[in-house]
Structure 1
């Protein structure tokens, strides 16, 4: 059936990464959509689309790759105001340095957050899972071109402060709800089981269940965390004695009991568990039962914990894995393409081309599922979020070569709007 509408746009390229689970690559393919309407009308060969929509405005990249706009499912925008103030190589040393310099890098954040937004756009990212500790980034992110799942983060383990901190969280959550739109989605983050009182965690899980809101948590990022959760000893015991003035601090959970608390969300809301570096087989089985996604941040994990997430363990338990950059407090930039390149070299035991496909899915379809978004794949009915990367020549082993050589998109669309490049 032919359409005469002149509002149809068709974008095509030598290769289209559909980013479905089979990693279908459509040769000389393209997508069609109506200007201003955030729904893909059709995905087909570029030639067929031009026949179906003869009056459409068209653009074809003869040596390009068209794929869904990339998704960074775990990024902290607020801690970007430093170059080298933190200590790396040990999680405890890093956390101590973060606490020491925290106030000095949380001044005027407007330029810092805008810089982080621009860095996402310039590497082809259209959607982010933004972890916000203080709420100072919400207006800038809500007004940005990005599609944002905005995780209001809760932290606080001192029983005397739980009521105050919970009320503060509720106010931040309500403030973010006032900004809710098709591209700004309020969500909830539990900082981690070592840093959040169980009473508060239960309140927030109940709220996420009621609101069907995505929920994120850092989980077992360091061996210190496992030691604390299992024995209430080690680095974190001293940490809480020093900073919270607790004489006899104890953990509120075991790793399994924390995961079990999340069970009401398993069939209601997306669950993201970030890092998971020290998970046992039993805990991975529980994560699988939760239908959760694990978000790995390879560069951050190397700098803070000297460890990478065991991807093969996730495959055994059929747990989807997404890839994020974390924030600049534990990274040297928040460029998601750089993160993918680094990850290629972090897993030498894996087949290189298959790993490349897995990594691309981890910043497209699997990241979209993790955040509860309707993008991440180029399919009819999905959101019009896509990136077109142009190359000086056609790419051999294109998924692998894309990661190695992609720098910035020629064109980036989010919410059916061109946010970078020519229209």
Structure 2
């Protein structure tokens, strides 16, 4: 067992308890959180690591939606319009994937640890990133993604998906879990979605999917019109969408741990269905700004919880959750900066854990000991500002602890 003590311990429990001059007792799990004086007296034989003035202990950040296979992108892909971006991805996909070798992805994962992320949901289209992910101490849900809308390819695509999933499941451990990703309603045939989700339901696997990321997707799925008509006609000889939005969402009934990413173009009826499914929305504010010049309407969510995620370097210039949090704070400029900062950090911890079905995101007894420590540049005048000051001033963390181990 170990003890860490800091000026402030942010628990992110249901009451958002903040303990001044607090301490945490932990091994793989959180054993106790209380004031330093109480912990010191109760555990007199344990060594105490006491952090410096203005130090903060909080749960590690959780990024439930990240693509690592396109980590080589810097200035290659086209931004500003989703259809233009998609065409640039198709044009440069093979080159970017070839450049994103294990060494490059491992470097990005080290950056994640230094910027406070202790858990990721890695969306993997080809499993080319599997070895790099396995080599990292970061916690991961490894989402094997299925994609393909041509009916005559379903059997082949399903067999390939099952082989990748089975291979990933061989590595299931305390910090690695295989999950399932459905690419999107426009890119996966409903028969294929159904068969893949049957596996998820039978094996109780975590599931995620992109949904209503762009106006192009909305036009195609709702009216069989727009830029996607040209795309599907040219690449797949299709002139009709294989799925409608609500039909697609209904296929997910019975999935226990479920999230949908983006949802910027989801209408009231679709959001109501997502709420009925007890799903989380993964909010990728920077990606939506880069690709669509759009943002998620938080007021329309009707109490659907939302997490914070970075998406990948194909649609972002940083995988740092603190960079994403600052950007999200700015993009939703109408929100009260103090109250919204608290909401955002809760989304980046508690809600992220829910999206991945993990016992993380809080500093409470029995939760996994995934902890980060940071130091603010000065005293805090008003304690309610602490969440805002963390977002505004944190680029890198001082210490990262995963499963009770310093990494």
> For this structure pair, what is the TM-score category when the shorter chain's length is used for normalisation?
over 0.9
Contact preservation (8 Å) 1:241, 1:249: yes
Give me the whole-angstrom Cα distance separating, in 2, the residues matched to 1:99 and 1:140: 24
Distance in 2, Cα, partners of 1:49 & 1:274: 41
Which residue does 2:337 correspond to in 1? 352
Contact 1:64 1:394 survives alignment (8 Å): no
Partners of 1:206 and 1:43 in 2: CA distance: 41
Counterpart in 2 of 1:224? 216
Question: Secondary structure of the residue that 1:48 maps to in structure 2?
Answer: helix
Q: Which moved more, 1:269-278 or 1:106-115?
A: 106-115
How far residue 336 of structure 1 moved from its aligned partner, in angstroms, is: 0.9
- For the residue of structure 2 that corresponds to 1:363, the secondary structure is helix
Identify the residue that residue 101 of structure 1 maps to in structure 2: 92
* Structure 1 residue 21: Cα displacement: 3.8
Match of 1:285 in 2: 272
Residue 106 of structure 1 aligns to a residue in which SS? Answer: helix
Corresponding residue for residue 6 of structure 2 = 13
Q: Is the 8 A contact 2:122 2:140 kept in 1?
A: yes
**Distance across 2 between alignment mates of 1:235 and 1:80:** 27
Equivalent runs, 1:179-190 vs 2, <5 Å: 179-190=171-182
Match runs of 1:140-151 below 5 Å: 140-151=132-143
The question of 1:119 aligning with 2:111 is answered yes
TM-score (normalizing by structure 1)? 0.93
2:34 equivalent among 29, 37, 44: 44
Deviation at 1:173, TM superposition (A): 0.1
Unaligned runs of 5+ in 2: none
Task: Quote the offset at 1:82 in angstroms.
Answer: 2.1
Separation in structure 2 between the aligned mates of residue 350 and residue 90 of structure 1, nearest angstrom:
26
* Number of residue pairs aligned between Structure 1 and Structure 2: 402
Instruction: Classify the secondary structure of the residue corresponding to 2:304.
Output: coil
State whether residues 294 and 320 of structure 1, in contact with CA within 8 Å, keep that contact through their aligned partners in structure 2: yes
Shift of residue 394 of structure 1? 2.3
In 2 relative to 1, CA 22–351 (structure 1 residues): closer, same or farther, beyond 3 Å?
A: farther
Q: Which residue of 2 aligns with 1:171?
A: 163
Correspondences of 1:241-320 after superposition (within 5 Å): 241-244=233-236, 246=237, 248-265=238-255, 269-314=256-301, 317-320=302-305
Question: How far did residue 373 of structure 1 move?
Answer: 0.6
Could you say what the CA RMSD is over the residues aligned between the two structures, in angstroms? Answer: 1.1
Structure 1, unaligned stretches of length 5 or more?
1-7
Cα shift at 1:255: 1.3
Give the Cα separation in 2 of the matches to 1:23 and 1:309. 25
**1:363-421 residue CA offsets vs partner (Å, 9 max, x unmatched):** 101100110011100000000100011233223411000000012111110011111xx
Partners of 2:115 and 2:122 lie apart in 1 by: 17
1:357 Cα shift? 0.5
User: Which whole-Å CA distance do the structure 1 matches of 2:127 and 2:310 have between them?
Assistant: 20
Q: Find out whether 1:72 has 2:63 as its counterpart.
A: yes
Q: Which whole-Å CA distance do the structure 1 matches of 2:271 and 2:184 have between them?
A: 17
Q: Which runs of 4+ in 1 moved over 6 A?
A: none
Q: Distance in 1 between matches of 2:266 and 2:13?
A: 28
Q: Which residue among 311, 322, 333 is the counterpart of 1:337? A: 322
1:154-193 deviations in whole A, cap 9, x for unaligned? 1111112111111000000000001111100000000000
- CA distance in 2 between counterparts of 1:240 and 1:378 reads 48
Aligned match of 1:388 in 358, 362, 373?
373
Q: Please state how far the C-alpha of 1:347 moved relative to its aligned partner.
A: 1.1
